């Protein structure tokens, strides 16, 4: 996930805190952030809503974080 780490650091949040928000283990969150494991659509939506960005931005398909509404 190209921009997940960047977004987390901008908000000054630890991986363990993100794992709690997502109701997963810290190890699983780390795998998402490093791209070892892919995210489900539900988790992508949760993260996009949490950070206020588009899913395309999260996965690196665009450099524009704006959500299309």
Domain boundaries, the chain: 4-58
Torsion (CA) 20, 21, 22, 25 in degrees, nearest 10: -10
Report the pLDDT value the prediction gives residue 65, as an integer from 0 to 100: 86
Q: Is 54 in contact with 68 (CB distance < 8 Å)? A: yes
Confidence (pTM): 0.85
More confident residue, 8 or 60: 8
pLDDT tens across 10-59, in order?
A: 999 999 999 999 999 999 999 999 989 999 999 999 999 999 999 999 88
CA distance 54 to 23: 21
**What fold characterizes domain 4-58?**
434 Repressor (Amino-terminal Domain) (1.10.260)
Report the pLDDT value the prediction gives residue 60, as an integer from 0 to 100: 86
């Amino acid at each position: 996930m190209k921009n997940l780490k960047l977004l987390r650091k901008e908000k000054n949040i630890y991986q363990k805190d993100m794992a709690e928000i997502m109701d997963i283990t810290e190890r699983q969150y780390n795998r998402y952030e490093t791209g070892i494991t892919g995210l489900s659509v539900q988790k992508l939506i949760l993260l996009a809503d949490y950070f206020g960005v588009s899913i395309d931005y999260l996965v690196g398909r665009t450099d524009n974080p704006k959500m299309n509404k």
